[in-house]
Amino acid sequence: MNTDHRECDITGMVERHIMVAVDSSDNARRAVLFVGDFFGCYDGFQVTLLHIILEPEATFFRDNEERQKWLKKKRVESKKIMEEYKHILVDAGFSEDKVNIRVEIMRAPSVADCIIKEQEVMKCCTIVIGRRGISKKEEFIFGSTSNKIIHEARKCAVLVIE
């Protein structure tokens, strides 16, 4: 993907660049539908669909074969959902060349850290993310990606889709 992300300049706008952070969940799908509904009929926007696959340490797996199997499964899942999400956006009015797909396999303490890092690299104006609607207990133990992004993302807007 050879996108010049510096085009996204809020003050002297050339083209607005929206990042939609997705996974295979329903809330991610809702976030994609929202972006299609809201921005699909306007020119001057490009969208990057970002899927971070957080890879556990190699020691998490019994052996390398199990690890490769896990990664393959995640890649196949990702390819399928990204194609589906791209169709949603194209159907909503985005031209194909304005919808970028980016799948990154990373190791990090949290998905939110990876999304924020990618936003900084791509200089997107807006991060769109679906809210999982997890319980307070789950958030306490496992954390909340959307909450972390709201608190830690800088120099961009954050849209959290219920």
Partner 1 sequence: METQAVNDTESTYSFSQLQEMIAAYLGSDKVPRRFKIITDTSDFFRVDYNDVVILGSVPYLMRNYAREGRFGLDDEPKYWVRKAINLINKEIKIIKLVFHEEIEAHIGEMVFKCVRSPGKEAAILDLVAGHKNFMHGISIRDTAGNIIRILDFIRGKGLDDLISKQAKNHEEFFYHHLPGYLSVYGEMVKAIQFIHEHGQKHGDIRRDHIMLDREKGVYRWIDFDYDYYHEANMFGYDLFGLGNILIFLVGGGDITIQQLHANKSAVVDKLNPNDMNIIFNNRVANIQKIYPYVPDALNYILLHFSNGANLYYDNTEQLLEDLGEIGINP
3-class DSSP string for 20-80: EEECCCHHHHHHHHHHHHHHCCCCCEEEEEEEEEECCCHHHCCCHHHHHHHHHHHHHHHHH
Nearer to partner 1, 46 or 146 (CB): 146
**Pairing state between β 99-106 and 16-22:** unpaired
Nearer to partner 1, 53 or 159 (CB): 53
Q: In the bound complex, what is the minimum distance in angstroms from residue 62's beta carbon to partner 1?
A: 5
User: Which residues sit at the interface with partner 1, rule CB under 8 A?
Assistant: 54, 56-60, 62, 107-112, 136-145, 148
Nearer to partner 1, 46 or 119 (CB): 119
Residue 33: phi and psi, rounded to 5, are -60, -40
Q: Biggest alpha carbon distance in the chain?
A: 52
CA 32/CA 37 separation, integer angstroms: 9
Query: Rounded to an integer, what is the distance from CA 118 to the centroid of its chain?
Result: 9
Nearer to partner 1, 44 or 133 (CB): 133
Q: In the bound complex, what is the minimum distance in angstroms from residue 39's beta carbon to partner 1?
A: 27
In this structure, what DSSP letter does residue 15 have?
-
Q: In the bound complex, what is the minimum distance in angstroms from residue 73's beta carbon to partner 1?
A: 13
Nearer to partner 1, 5 or 148 (CB): 148
Q: In the bound complex, what is the minimum distance in angstroms from residue 37's beta carbon to partner 1?
A: 27
Q: In the bound complex, what is the minimum distance in angstroms from residue 5's beta carbon to partner 1?
A: 25
Residue 11: phi and psi, rounded to 5, are -75, -45
